[in-house]
Amino acid sequence: MNCIVEAKDVVKIYGDNEKTQVVALDHVSLNIYEGDFITVMGPSGAGKSTFLNNLSTIDLPTKGSVKINGVEVRAMGETEIGRFRYENLGFIFQEFNLLGTLTIFENVAVPLSLKNIAKDEIKSRVQEIAKKLEIDHLLDKYPDECSGGQRQRVAIARALVTNPKLIVADEPTGNLDSKNSHELLAFLKELNEKEGVTILMVTHDSMIASYSKKLVYIRDGIIDGVIERENMTQREYFYKIVDINSRESQALLFD
Amino acid sequence: MGTIKFAIHMLKADFKKSLFYCGSLIFSTIVVFVFFNMTANPAYGGDPNGRSQSFTTVLSLIVVIIAMVMAFFANSFYLSGKSKELAIETLSGGSVLTLAGYILTQNFMIMLIAMPLGILIGYFVTPLINAYLYPQLGVTDSIWKVYSGGAAYTIVGLLTEMVWLVLLNTGYAYRTEIKTLISAEKTMTVKSKGMIKLPKFVFVLLYILPIALFVCLSPDAFIYLAASCVGLFGISGILKSVIPSVLKKLSRERFLNHPHRLISIGNLNYSLKQSTTLIQMIIISATFLVCFMCTYFNDPKQLIIIIMSYVVLTFMMAVSLVYKVIIEATHRAISFRHLKMIGYITKDLKKIIRQEILGMFSVVILFPMLYFVVILIRFSSAGLMEWGFAISVMAFYIFIFVIAAVISYWVYKGIVLKGSGR
């Protein structure tokens, strides 16, 4: 299978002063293959988002290497990274990250405008993805006029409209209610299974994580455990996820 | 920590946030002192006791009021920047009175610095102005004289300003909820302002109509002034209704596949909606003052006050517009970081900012300029005004706003690109 992201011995240290330095990632390695649906979990401050940022060109590791499609991220210039992002990546974040000064239609169209695509094609692609995500009635509205669930759908539409090879999602359900959260995950799962889109997601919710194919558990900047779903049912996989998440707490129980 | 101590501590810890507000208060105090003193100065046709009301007294009062409005404007931005501190106070169980006490303590501290400093600077600026203008008017009086009428008006003016600021701040504390306070620094909602519904072309016609009248009618400043009033209604409609719909159409139809204009037009549309009142004020005051200059061109005493008003107002409005841009830029910093994640690079972001600033300041410069050009040409060609003077009036306006645009661009760029990373 084609390896999209290859992270080897990634170290991320914050701070210049040796005394106050924080090691957020400590020699972490991971390969992401085409069609993967990987969830990263771990306690607060474990380094989940740092890991995600380092794997998706947003941040650079202090040491180690991250290769995307065989190309070392560190060697890429700003223009190359920019092009790489709009050609290959789709970002979904907890805060939606929509542009408040643009309508929903324009927000979804922004990544396409970078690709120098004809206006008619942009219109039809925006309409198509909007219909798929049931936001076609919102296209003339501004983000402020939409609910949290609607805004997250718009963020997904914007992330998917360019048909990216890799979707990077950092706590995508953090601002959603449970109904909207499960609808979103069902949609991402379908996208992964039917269209082969690779997904890398950070979440703190075991139920949300149970939609993925593989779980990477991070603790104190190192990978503390990996669970592959393989032939498990979602319920079995969910229990395993709950177990790894609560291991530390279980050790503290008296009886 | 008590409210007053906390207020003083936060003011000291984050004085940078208060700098613009403090500067605005100092500037408005200087304007109040200098203008009231000029209107009481017989050398400029004033009454030393401040009893008789000449045209320039009224004009000075208008300038002073606008200077105060600018201070209120700075105050409201100051408050929105302080919303998190206020939210903490409210969340900690602070009542309306506590909140008002917090805001007023900080305000009084700033006023205590700004107002005496403004009066002091005003006291030293007045002789400088007199030293420049007295020889031109053939006056030989002492340049250091401060008139009792002017001083009395200054004290009354500053007290009025203080009372209004107290009312404004207490009102803010009373009506603002925690939820609003928490999101005040990042909200993007534009409140819709009332506007008479008319077909868009009517607004354009109303804007063009005065130009036709300027050309057809013989040069008379008061008729031109009346015609400008009609035009200003048109400008208001163009800003609120025509430009937003044109920009929306442009981004949806023409620039949909243009990576920079799609964003910059959206930003420009939002910024214009946010600044409509300020832009209207800029255009109205500048147009009126140009008409007044035409009326009193042959009365040097009056003309000097009008020119002073024009210079001060243009400067104040330009500073306010720069500040407005800075506030918007602060709100947009996150959006620009998101654009980088989508694939935009620094060069693209700079282009987007450039286009937005260019659009914004083009509106401010070009709309009144069309009126200025026609009015000043008509007066100059009729021999009622010197060509050099007419060109200087226009050049000054353009120069100030071009400088403001350049400053806005640099500051905007600095804010949104700072820490934007890769």
> Of all residues in chain B, what percent carry a pLDDT higher than 70?
92
Is it the case that residue B186 has pLDDT exceeding 50?
no
Encoding tokens for residue B103? Answer: 């805001």
DSSP readout, chain A? --EEEEEEEEEEEE-SSTTT-EEEEEEEEEEEETT-EEEEE-STTSSHHHHHHHHTTSS--SEEEEEETTEEGGG--HHHHHHHHHHHEEEEETT----TTS-HHHHHHHHHHTTT--HHHHHHHHHHHHHHTT-GGGTTS-GGGS-HHHHHHHHHHHHHTT--SEEEEESTTTTS-HHHHHHHHHHHHHHHHHH--EEEEE-S-HHHHTTSSEEEEEETTEEEEEEE-TT--HHHHHHHHHHHHHHHHHHT---
Q: Which of A12-21, A224-233, B95-104, B373-382 has the lowest mean pLDDT?
A: B95-104
Comparing C-alpha atoms, which of B228, B223, B225 is closest to residue B206?
B228
Between CA A82 and CA A76 the distance in angstroms is 10
Encoding tokens for residue B391? Answer: 């060109």
User: Which comes out higher in pLDDT, residue A216 or B319?
Assistant: A216
Tell whether B346 lies on the interface with A, counting CB pairs under 8 A: yes
Is it the case that residue B391 has pLDDT exceeding 70?
yes
A34-60 pLDDT, tens digit per residue, is 999 999 999 888 889 899 999 988 888
The answer to whether residues B299 and B282 touch, using CB atoms and an 8 Å cutoff, is no
Q: Are strands A166-170 and A198-202 parallel, antiparallel or unpaired?
A: parallel
Is it the case that residue B118 has pLDDT exceeding 90?
yes
Contacts of B422 in chain A (CB under 8 A): 57-60, 78, 81
Between CA A148 and CA B110 the distance in angstroms is 40
Residue with tokens 């914004």, as numbered in its chain: B360
**Burial call A132-149: b when 16+ CB within 10 Å, e when fewer:** ebebbebbeebbeebeeb
Task: Describe the strand order of the beta sheet including A22-33 as a list of residue ranges.
Answer: A22-33, A3-14, A63-68, A71-72
Facing residue for B343 by CB, picked from A114, A119, A122? A114
Is it the case that residue B110 has pLDDT exceeding 80?
yes
Report the pLDDT value the prediction gives residue B265, as an integer from 0 to 100. 94
Report the pLDDT value the prediction gives residue B291, as an integer from 0 to 100. 83
Neighbours of B347 (CB within 10 A): 11
Which CATH number is A43's domain given? Answer: 3.40.50.300
Considering only CB atoms, which residues of chain A are within 8 Å of chain B? Answer: 57-60, 78-79, 81-87, 89, 91, 97-103, 105-106, 109-114, 116-119, 122-123, 142-144, 158
* Mean pLDDT of the B374-385 span: 87
Name the most confidently modeled range: A118-127, A246-255, B147-156, B182-191: A118-127
User: Which comes out higher in pLDDT, residue B92 or A114?
Assistant: A114
Residue with tokens 């009015």, as numbered in its chain: B375
Report the pLDDT value the prediction gives residue B125, as an integer from 0 to 100. 93
The secondary structure of residue B44, as a DSSP letter, is: G
Is it the case that residue A29 has pLDDT exceeding 60?
yes
CA distances from A153 to A215, B186, B187, B206 (A): 24, 21, 20, 44
Report the pLDDT value the prediction gives residue B187, as an integer from 0 to 100. 42
> What is chain A's mean pLDDT, rounded?
89
- Return the amino acid letter for B313: L
> What is chain B's mean pLDDT, rounded?
83
Between CA A42 and CA B20 the distance in angstroms is 44
Q: Partners of A65 in the beta sheet?
A: A8
Q: What is the C-alpha radius of gyration for chain A, rounded to an integer number of angstroms?
A: 19
Are the beta carbons of B422 and A116 separated by less than 8 Å?
Answer: no
* Mean pLDDT of the A166-190 span: 87
Q: How many domains does chain A have?
A: 1
Residue with tokens 């226009």, as numbered in its chain: B394
To the nearest 10°, report the CA torsion of B353, B358, B364, B368. -170
Mutation target among B341, B348, B349, B360 for the A interface, most CBs of A within 10 A: B341
> E strands along B157-216, which residues?
none
**Burial call B34-66: b when 16+ CB within 10 Å, e when fewer:** bbbbbbbbebbbbbeebeeebebbebbbbbbeb
Report the pLDDT value the prediction gives residue B333, as an integer from 0 to 100. 87
Are the beta carbons of B341 and A58 separated by less than 8 Å?
Answer: yes
Band of residue B1 on the pLDDT scale cut at 50, 70, 90: low
Facing residue for B343 by CB, picked from A58, A85, A97? A85
Between CA B256 and CA B260 the distance in angstroms is 10
Comparing C-alpha atoms, which of A194, A175, A219 is closest to residue A35?
A194
Between CA B4 and CA B101 the distance in angstroms is 7
B239-290 pLDDT, tens digit per residue, is 888 999 999 899 888 899 899 999 999 999 988 888 888 888 888 888 888 8
The answer to whether residues B372 and B283 touch, using CB atoms and an 8 Å cutoff, is no
Neighbours of B218 (CB within 10 A): 7
> Of all residues in chain A, what percent carry a pLDDT higher than 70?
99
User: Which comes out higher in pLDDT, residue A127 or A152?
Assistant: A127
Cβ within 8 Å of residue B186, ≥6 positions away: B331, B334
Report the pLDDT value the prediction gives residue B189, as an integer from 0 to 100. 45
DSSP readout, B271-327? HHHHHHHHHHHHHHHHHHHHHHHHHTTT-HHHHHHHHHHHHHHHHHHHHHHHHHHHH
Report the pLDDT value the prediction gives residue B422, as an integer from 0 to 100. 60
Report the pLDDT value the prediction gives residue B285, as an integer from 0 to 100. 83
Range of the domain at A45: 3-251
Whole-prediction pTM:
0.82
Contacts of B266 in chain A (CB under 8 A): 99, 101-103, 106
Report the pLDDT value the prediction gives residue B147, as an integer from 0 to 100. 86
Are the beta carbons of A110 and B263 separated by less than 8 Å?
Answer: yes
Between CA B71 and CA B74 the distance in angstroms is 5
Report the pLDDT value the prediction gives residue A34, as an integer from 0 to 100. 92
Residue with tokens 């390695």, as numbered in its chain: A29
The secondary structure of residue B5, as a DSSP letter, is: H
> Of all residues in chain B, what percent carry a pLDDT higher than 90?
21
Comparing C-alpha atoms, which of B275, B76, B269, B273 is closest to residue B184?
B76
The answer to whether residues B293 and B380 touch, using CB atoms and an 8 Å cutoff, is no
Gap from A231 CA to chain B (nearest CA, Å): 35
Is it the case that residue B77 has pLDDT exceeding 90?
no
Contacts of A79 in chain B (CB under 8 A): 345
